[in-house]
Amino acid sequence: MVLSTGLNSHPYSIAIQDLNEDGRVDIAVANYGTKNLVTFLGSGDGIFENQASYGVNFDYAPLMIGAGSFNKDGRSEIIVAYDGIDHVDVLVTYNLGSFDRHMTYSTGSWPRSVAVGDFNNDTRLDIVVANQYDNTVSILLGYGNGFFANQVRYSTGSSPYSVAVGDFNNDTHLDIVVANWNDNTISVLRGYGDGSFADQTIYSTGTSPYSVAVGDFNNDTRLDIVVANYDDNTTSVFLGYGNGSFTNQTTYSTGSGPQSVAIGDFNNDSLLDIVVANYDDNTVSILLGHADGTFANQTTYSTGTWPYSVAVGDFNNDTRLDIVVANLGNKTVSVLLGYGNGSFANQKTYRTGSAPYSVAIGDFNSDNRLDIIVVNWDSNNMSVFLGYGNGFFANQMIYSTGISPSSVAVGDFNNDTHLDIIVADLNQARAHNWEWISTEIVRHWGF
């Protein structure tokens, strides 16, 4: 019986083990040429299913694999050694003999940005996607088991690039805000609490709004909005009245080509601050917040080439917020550790896939340490960096996505206490149930 491992795969090592706990022997093959792992599940009569390549790709060519229950928990693990690399990886199979499980859902044309929230108050997370080419957002209501209803779409302004969620009128129902690139506006869509939304209300921004985030900047318990305006090198701040409406914008200077915006308290004064990734001058801008909702002049820090996306979290467990930036131009992420006074250390960079486009954070392996996930536009995959809890990260693990992934968000979509991932691809929104990642990647050795 001949089993195909794929074109130009150059299979190099093989392991035999019951990978899906059905009492039948299965086969795992490490392919040197395609740098991936494929499995063949056994039927118990000497026949094996066609290969199941579940998106386990490696940065380096695998030289040797072995299989067994290394941690004596009854589950099979696979250990992988690489050509020229001084560490090995251990992956837990967990029941299905697979390493990734994903479902694909239709959206509008060119899904550009994705966010999550409970839009119908059923304690199950839902998804909103901004669709650049048809000027809509798609709402996909979650069933709480990792599956979602078909989309319902709502009109936005022209070329929606970014979406965020919050309760803007204090009615306990989540609302949506969208940054519209072509008409220099944001759209606010108020939620009814049943998963449906009112027609948009429009507010003017600076030129070419690219990214939007939400927070209470003046501590009045009313949510406000900040927008990064690419072409006029500003951020716009809209203070909320608490009834779903907002003041006219106040603008603040940033670096050149602000591409992405995030918020956090960087100087531990209980006031929210702003960080902006500046695509054209390879920096991030830090704008420290005042109690009245205004902001200080920017301070800038160097990043990699063409910073495209920014996120915030405490990566070294010192109660001080840090920053991670996806650098599209030189295939890296930059980690800048915060000192807690609004200033940051110089960046440390980690290699990603090609054209890292969007970054998010979460604890994917339940070790109480924040990890990083980046979707890579040109290589059609995503990079997962497991955190050590001291501000450093393991080398990336690569997992396949759909075509040209543009945005990533994180949430527990099936209520199993494991974080899952939703990725907006060029032609689709793909929901990945990432309980497999949070359990598969046990640790990286050799550090």
> Do 95 and 124 fall into the same domain?
no
> Do 213 and 92 fall into the same domain?
no
Q: What mean pLDDT comes out for the span 139-153? A: 85
pLDDT, residue 436, reads 30
User: For residues 376 and 326, what is the distance between their CA atoms, to the nearest angstrom?
Assistant: 9
> Do 30 and 162 fall into the same domain?
no
> Do 81 and 116 fall into the same domain?
no
- Confidence category of residue 262, pLDDT binned at 50, 70, 90: very high
> Do 128 and 210 fall into the same domain?
yes
> Do 146 and 30 fall into the same domain?
no
Tell me if 445 is assigned to some domain.
Answer: no
User: For residues 77 and 64, what is the distance between their CA atoms, to the nearest angstrom?
Assistant: 14
Tell me if 106 is assigned to some domain.
Answer: no
- Using the Cα atoms of residue 291, residue 294, residue 296 and residue 302 in order, give the sign of their dihedral: positive
Which residue is it, tokens 């820090």?
Answer: 301
> Do 300 and 188 fall into the same domain?
yes
Token pair listed for 6: 């794929």
- Decide: helix, strand or coil at residue 439: helix
> Do 86 and 132 fall into the same domain?
no
Tell me if 437 is assigned to some domain.
Answer: no
The percentage of the chain sitting over the pLDDT mark of 90, rounded to a whole number, equals: 56
Residue 136: phi and psi, rounded to 5, are -140, 165
Closest by Cα among 202, 187, 169 to 131: 187
Tell me if 298 is assigned to some domain.
Answer: yes
Token pair listed for 66: 């072995």
Tell me if 136 is assigned to some domain.
Answer: yes
Single out the residue in 37, 69, 99 at which a domain terminates.
99
pTM above 0.85, yes or no: no
User: Which residues are registered as beta bridge partners of 188?
Assistant: 177, 201
Single out the residue in 66, 99, 132 at which a domain terminates.
99
- Quick check: 50 pLDDT over 80? no
User: For residues 393 and 90, what is the distance between their CA atoms, to the nearest angstrom?
Assistant: 16
Which residue is it, tokens 């090198």?
Answer: 233
Q: What mean pLDDT comes out for the span 23-43? A: 78
Token pair listed for 30: 């490490």
Q: What mean pLDDT comes out for the span 31-36? A: 80
Tell me if 398 is assigned to some domain.
Answer: yes
> Do 83 and 145 fall into the same domain?
no
What CATH code is carried by the domain that includes residue 191?
A: 2.120.10.30
Domain of residue 90: give its range. Answer: 11-99
Angle value at C-alpha 401, between 399 and 407, nearest 5 degrees: 110
> Do 79 and 228 fall into the same domain?
no
Q: Among 77-86, 231-240, 321-330, 418-427, which stretch is predicted with the lowest mean pLDDT?
A: 77-86
- Quick check: 198 pLDDT over 90? yes
Which string of DSSP letters, residue by residue, matches 78-110?
EEEEETT-S-EEEEE--SSS-S-EEEEE--SSS
Select the highest-mean-pLDDT range: 236-245, 413-422, 426-435: 236-245
Tens digit of each residue's pLDDT (9 = 90 or more) over 280-315: 999 999 999 999 999 999 999 999 999 999 999 999
Residue 47: phi and psi, rounded to 5, are -105, 140
Cβ atoms of 70 and 80 closer than 8 Å: no
Cβ atoms of 331 and 356 closer than 8 Å: yes
Tell me if 330 is assigned to some domain.
Answer: yes
Cβ atoms of 403 and 427 closer than 8 Å: yes
- Quick check: 278 pLDDT over 80? yes
Angle value at C-alpha 240, between 234 and 244, nearest 5 degrees: 120
pLDDT, residue 67, reads 61
Single out the residue in 74, 99, 124 at which a domain terminates.
99
Token pair listed for 340: 């807690």
Domain count, the chain: 2
User: Please, what is the end-to-end C-alpha distance for the chain in angstroms?
Assistant: 41
10 Å CB burial of residue 242 (0-12, 13-18, 19+) is: middle
Angle value at C-alpha 180, between 178 and 181, nearest 5 degrees: 140
Cβ atoms of 229 and 258 closer than 8 Å: yes
> Do 93 and 231 fall into the same domain?
no
One-letter amino acid for residue 260 of the chain: S
Tell me if 4 is assigned to some domain.
Answer: no
- Decide: helix, strand or coil at residue 436: helix
CB atoms within 10 A of CB 44: 9
> Do 136 and 41 fall into the same domain?
no
Cβ atoms of 20 and 26 closer than 8 Å: yes
- Quick check: 174 pLDDT over 90? yes
